[in-house]
Structure 1
Amino acid sequence: MSTPTPEVLEEWRRFRSARDAELAQQHGWLTLTSLQWLTVEPAAVEHLPGLWAADDAAATLSAAADDGLTLAETGAPVDGTVMASLADEESLLWVYFGGSGGRRIAVELARRGGRYAIRTRDAASAVFTDFDGVPTFDYRPDLVVQGRFEAYPEPVEVPIRTAHPAVDGVHLTVGELVVQLPGEEHEYRLQVSAEGTGRLALTFHDATNNQSTAGWRKVVFDAPAPGTSAVTVDFNRAVNYPSAFTAFGTCPMPVGSNIIGIPVEAGEKAPER
């Protein structure tokens, strides 16, 4: 195994620092403390005052001003009944509650599989307050690999499972990453999705899962230049989905065929709990 240059290591450390800082944001993924499905009949929920409900068209919240709930968009107290509508897979930071400033808990409204749910994000969560960075493998220069991207004529929707058994997902496959890993004689063909403009994402299983790493991970890499197919995939930048940190995520699992049969000992390990 070759030794990485100081410049390469410094760039990787900057990536890790930015990644940990992103996770440590207030009301980020580390603060999730519940996922609660709303019912047609107004009902109480954990951690929050008020009565919450939803039907196919919208979610509603009924509360009095002295309950202490405030609308995230305006800061106005919830005094009466408020309503919000979302398309499937959309989310909305809806209201705040609690703490000395009234914003300790952020309440996210989400619609998944045609159903409305709320997720509470509590800045006092121990997962958040005790966070000291994600453990990682040592940098592996040999797991910066060259491959090629073979685009599909049109994106293909592939049904997948998610981290929540009650939520089905869809992987919008835009093409395949063809790549050979160190020590392997064969190439893998792995389905990838788009990740914004000019980027591709691979969600994958490998032989470290549920041992040194979480159940699955994701690595993002640059799409090939126009008219070419060559890509570079740096598995040292493989990261966990939020569901690795919290039981309340609805993160997408890999496409069934996205299995790397050897240990990919690079990138993020399973979080310490």
Structure 2
Amino acid sequence: MSPTTQTAEDRWARFRAARNAALAETHGWLSLTSFHWLADRPARVGSMPGLWSADGGTASVTAQPSDGLTDLATGRPVDGTLTASLEDEDSLMWMAYGGGDGHRVVVELARRAGRYAIRTRDAEASTLARFTGNPVFDYRPDLVVEGRFEPYAEPLHEQILTSHPDVPGTHTAVGDVVFTLPGDTREHRLRASQDEAGALTVTFHDTTNGVTTAHWRKVSLRRPRPDGSVILDFNRTVNYPSAFTPYGTCPRPVDANVVDAPVEAGEKQP
């Protein structure tokens, strides 16, 4: 089938295939098996080899070659103490251990709310082994709706909760996405963030949450047209990693981002 003859549903099917492939990556979100804050003195963390700590803006790990810990940056066994520094909200796939190749478990270093944590990503995690694709609603052409983007004079920064009780977050909105749903004359207004390329993301609640869908979801939009119009394809609504794992630190919607109606499109609860 040539690109010119592809239907919108064909393109959505390709999007779904790519999305499921990304979720099934060996050390992707479905491989998360733990989350640990680092103490200020070197200490064992769970069943991981080595001694781990964080002091101010730096995280450290100390191990010897017999521990079987590999520095992913160099591919060499850790022999002594290694350090790393991250900006807040950044992550680093830092170390690996276990399995026949020594890379079954990847240790991710993360900095959240000014604190360092490590998460393990296990290629043999049961969540990953059981995954056969995220359930979704059938394609709904009527839930590809046109709306408009109303930019703010200045970005709006709001404190939010995340999926982790110890990790606060900040949402920066650049404007409102305004739209109506089929069969509903009410105007819905949601705050949107924007990436460097101009694309918008809306994180929202709707009345399907906790019934057929996760507790919140998100949908991405292409950058607004010159006249401010945008297309919301709710068929491309996806879950945050926290829908699959308790070890995420995903942002919750701002209080204003509630659609008081069912959005029966996109990904369902895993």
Counterpart in the other structure of 2:106? 106
**Equivalent position of 1:253 in the other structure:** 252
Distance of 1:21 and 1:38 partners within structure 2: 32
Structure 1 CA distance for aligned equivalents of residues 160 and 198 of structure 2: 24
User: Partner of 1:19: helix, strand, or coil?
Assistant: helix
The superposition leaves residues 124-145 of structure 1 with CA deviations (integer Å, 9 ceiling, x where unpaired) of 0011111100000011111111
The 4+ residue runs of structure 1 with deviation greater than 3 A are: none
Deviations 1:112-134 (A, max 9, x none): 01110000000000111111000
Moved more, 162-171 or 49-58: 49-58
What CA distance in whole angstroms lies between the structure 2 residues aligned with 1:7 and 1:188?
A: 28
Output the CA distance in 2 between the equivalents of 1:157 and 1:177.
16
**Which one-letter code corresponds to 2:254 in the other structure?**
V
Q: Structure 1 unaligned runs (5+)? A: none
| Equivalent residue runs for 1:173-252 within 5 Å | 173-225=173-225, 227-252=226-251
Residue in structure 2 matched with residue 262 of structure 1 by the alignment: 261
Partner of 1:38: 38
Alpha-carbon distance, 1:57 to partner: 2.1
Residues 11-90 of structure 1 aligned to structure 2 (within 5 Å): 11-90=11-90
- State percent identity of aligned pairs: 56
Q: Alpha-carbon deviations, 1:125-175, whole Å to 9, x = none?
A: 011111100000011111111100011122221111000010000111011
Structure 2 unmatched runs, 5+: none
User: 2:100 & 2:39 partners in 1: Cα distance?
Assistant: 30
Inter-partner Cα distance in structure 1 for 2:144 and 2:196: 22
Tell me the SS of whatever aligns to 1:142.
helix
AA of the residue aligned to 2:231: T
Q: How many residue pairs align between the two structures?
A: 266
Deviation at 1:6? 7.3
Task: Note if contact 1:195-1:220 (Cα within 8 Å) is conserved in structure 2.
Answer: no
- Distance apart, 1:67 and its partner CA: 0.3
What is the alpha-carbon distance in structure 2 between the residues aligned to residue 248 and residue 195 of structure 1? 25
Q: Once the 2 structures are TM-superposed, how far is the Cα of residue 266 of structure 1 from its aligned partner?
A: 0.3
The aligned amino acid for 2:36 is Q
Instruction: Give RMSD over aligned pairs.
Output: 1.2
Supply the distance in 2 between the matched residues of 1:220 and 1:213 (Cα, whole angstroms): 17
Superimposed CA distance per residue, residues 3-28 of structure 1 (whole angstroms, 9 cap, x where no aligned partner): xx972221111010010011111110
Residue 36 of structure 2 aligns to a residue whose secondary structure is: strand
- Equivalent residue letter for 1:247: P
SS at match of 1:205: strand
TM-score by length of 2: 0.96
- When structure 1 is superposed on structure 2, of 65-74 and 149-158 the one drifting more is 149-158
Amino acid at match of 2:97: F
SS, match of residue 15 in structure 1: helix
Q: 2:197 & 2:67 partners in 1: Cα distance?
A: 43
1:218 is displaced (CA, Å) by 0.4
* C-alpha distance in 2 between matches for 1:131 and 1:6: 28
| Pairing 1:156-171 to 2, within 5 Å after superposition | 156-171=156-171
